[in-house]
A and B are shown apart, each in its own frame.
Chain A
Amino acid sequence: MDAIFLQVLNGLDKGGAYALIALGLTLVFGTLGVVNFAHGALFMLGAFCAVALQRMFSVSYERINEDKQDFLGNPLKEQISYMVDWVGEDAAAFLQDYSVPLSIILAALFMAIVGIVMERGLIKHFYKRPHADQILVTFGLAIVIQELVRHYFGANPIPQAAPQVVSGAANVGSWVGLGENVIYPWWRLVYFVFSAIIIFGVFAFLQFTTFGMVVRAGMQDRETVGLLGINIEQRFTVVFGLAAVVAGVAGAMYTPVLPPDYHMGMDFLVLSFVVVVVGGMGSLGGAVLAGFLLGILQSFASMQAVQELLPGISQIIIYLVAVIVLLTLPRGLMGRKGVMED
């Protein structure tokens, strides 16, 4: 029982990341009708926003401190970060500590710009082209983004620390009465809650605002919405920006769980596509459901007992599920009729 509960928890944070990426993918597909292979790269860019912010906070200069001496008797050279000079010691330490949560702001701003530029500059011209062309051009873009990141940040993963407050493990077991040995890292709980908030936010935005209503109408019948005198293209650009922001903040917050490297986008993209297909192309609820479902399934498959029974299952479980779902439920779990049925 303890083990099962722990595996469900384990699946939740990974599932949260899958769900957030898949949500953006589906949103873009449902509105713009574009298959975006560069979405994983956006997730990766978001993660590197966290790295960049952390580095920005620790930009430093060298100062010679005459009062102290190093072990050779020379005046000590100290590395002083600009942040300390500007906001004082305590505030600088605070900023360093909270660089990951704070990077959400940077990631949101930066990804909004990237998303809108990408849509206006490139994706716009591919609305009427076949899906194969869309896949290929975004695939090329993903390679370019990935290689640029590698050029500036190097090929090795860059670990990021979660804030001190949530660095330990939470004793989840005692909360739900399962005993003391069910412990779970705080940050992963934070990530799960964060992803739930973002998902609800996106749904609320689409469900309860006029803007969201127009977007949903546009997903149903783009032409009619246009005929009603609504500039649907403009709305869709915003939607693309929104999807990019969701992917970006998801990536930024994920850095303490998985140290970001330049190809994490591709790794997550392949899985997220599988998630979208399992959930049903064009269904937002399906994407979220499938994201969490596959995340939990994957963590169950990596259990010791399961590994002994079926070695190697943890790596292929997601693909296996995708194959089975696609063959039995052609539209995925919650796919709408008439979407991508050529």
Chain B
Amino acid sequence: MQNKTALKDITLFVGFAAVVLCLPIILEPIGANYPDLLQKIAIFGIFAIGFNILFGLTGYLSFGHAAFIGVGSYMTLWSFKLLTMNVVPAILFSVILAGLFAYLIGYVSLRRSGIYFSILTLAFAQMCYSLAYSVLTPITNGETGLQTRAIRTNPETSLLDADLRIIDQAFGVLENGVPTTNFFGMAMSGYTGFYFCAVLLIICFFIAQRLTRSNFGMMLKAIKSNQNRLNYTGIHTRPYLIAAFVISGMYAGLAGSLMAATDPIAGAERMQWTASGEVVLMTILGGVGTLVGPVLGAGLIKYAEQKVSSWNEGILESFFSFLPETLQHLMTNIGSLFVGEGWHTTLGLMFMIIVIFLPGGIMEGIQRITNIFRRKSNKDAKGASAPQPAE
């Protein structure tokens, strides 16, 4: 039995890695093979996997994960500005800082559960968001957003408008204008950027898989199903919860850092609570508590966002051109509610439909369909083997 699950895990992991690495080829036929979108899919995949470690395993619904995205983004940008354009230190610092942040927020919020926990995390995230716009403007550059700039020549210039890049300067890297972010010389844009994110996504997936299968993961699931009983058995659940919260915060920090690494600008709008809502939706859409689900949800939503928001009335009109004219106009008018600028309407509707009809997400849908087929084939198999005597 043990071997069987292990084998299953390995197959799942290898399959996942293969699919992620071949994503450009797979997405080619549906017109989604461009690096910008691919990077987003990989980055939000990491974010959703991390969110799922908390929400899927322990059942604690956090509405404040966008705060860690923000922390990761800002930290990465400061690393670019002060140290080097290489992404490795930036990512390391961001993940560590996001982890520390998550520890602080988690330490306070995890004293409560249920809806109180959701509101506490929401309150903290909104606090970070407001502060980034007001008091912390010397660090965050307010509404303009933090950006990488050219090396400082005049020591009077504020660090927001000019960079130091101590390490790069020490190594004598020649800079012509604002340099691009790199991974030991490889520019982090286009397909290189995507493959960098994809490799990290695969590593994150592996870690999440190991976590889920470990005793620690078992404990988290136990917390989800009955925390009281665990308390009665004398197990202190808070350390486990804090650990899960910190891990998922670090995942979010990594995602935020990668966002800043592939597109070196950081703004506070990434921390708004709608961003937290988006990752919840990704996880739900894919399937809460499953390993592949959140990544699938993230990919689907990012793809749909790109596609649906690019449609306009002209496309709709040609789409409904087979209808009589009045009907065509009517359908175009109705359709225009949901496309282009109205992409969020579609998102909200999708959200509702999934929660109402398929609370387990796409993965549950797949499960149901395969179950139907399996039952059928089982019946066939039984029918065939019925006449033979039992062994």
Binding site for B on A (CB under 8 A): 35, 122, 125, 129, 131-133, 135-137, 139-144, 146-148, 150-151, 266, 270, 273-274, 277, 281, 311-312, 315-316, 319-320, 322-323, 326-327, 330, 340, 342
Contacts and interface: CB of A to CB of B under 8 A. Distances in A.
Contacts of A122: 352, 356
22 contacts: A131-B114, A132-B61, A135-B115, A137-B351, A139-B277, A139-B351, A140-B281, A142-B348, A143-B345, A143-B347, A146-B344, A147-B344, A147-B348, A148-B337, A151-B345, A274-B119, A281-B115, A311-B135, A312-B131, A315-B131, A319-B124, A326-B111
B126 interface: yes
Contact of A277 (B59, B119, B281): B119
B352 A322 contact: no
A137 B352 contact: yes
A341 B113 CA distance: 8
Given A270-B126, A274-B119, A315-B130, A143 B348 contact: yes
B126 A140 contact: no
Contacts of A131: 114-115
B216 interface: no
A301 B122 CA distance: 21
Given A137-B356, A323-B124, 16 more contacts: A131-B114, A132-B61, A137-B351, A140-B355, A143-B351, A144-B352, A148-B337, A273-B119, A273-B122, A315-B131, A315-B133, A316-B127, A316-B130, A316-B131, A322-B119, A326-B120
A320 to B, nearest CB: 7
B309 to A, nearest CB: 12
Contacts of B127: 315-316, 319-320
B196 interface: no
Contacts of A311: 134-135
Nearest to A310: B135
B112 interface: yes
A144 B348 contact: yes
Given A136-B355, A143-B351, A147-B348, A322 B123 contact: yes
Contacts of B349: 140, 144
Interface residues of B, number: 43
Contacts of A143: 277, 344-345, 347-348, 351
A141 B352 contact: yes
Nearest to B137: A312
Nearest to A319: B123
A312 B129 CA distance: 12
Contacts of B348: 140-144, 146-147
Interface centre among A135, A320, A330 (most CB of B within 10 A): A135
A147 B339 CA distance: 11
B116 interface: yes
5 closest cross-chain pairs (CB), A and B? A143-B348, A140-B351, A312-B135, A315-B130, A144-B348
Contacts of B113: 342
Contacts of B284: 136
Nearest to B277: A139
B342 interface: yes
Contacts of B19: none
B328 interface: no
A326 B351 CA distance: 30
A146 B342 CA distance: 10
Nearest to A271: B126
Contacts of A320: 127
Nearest to A322: B123
A266 B129 CA distance: 15
Nearest to A324: B108
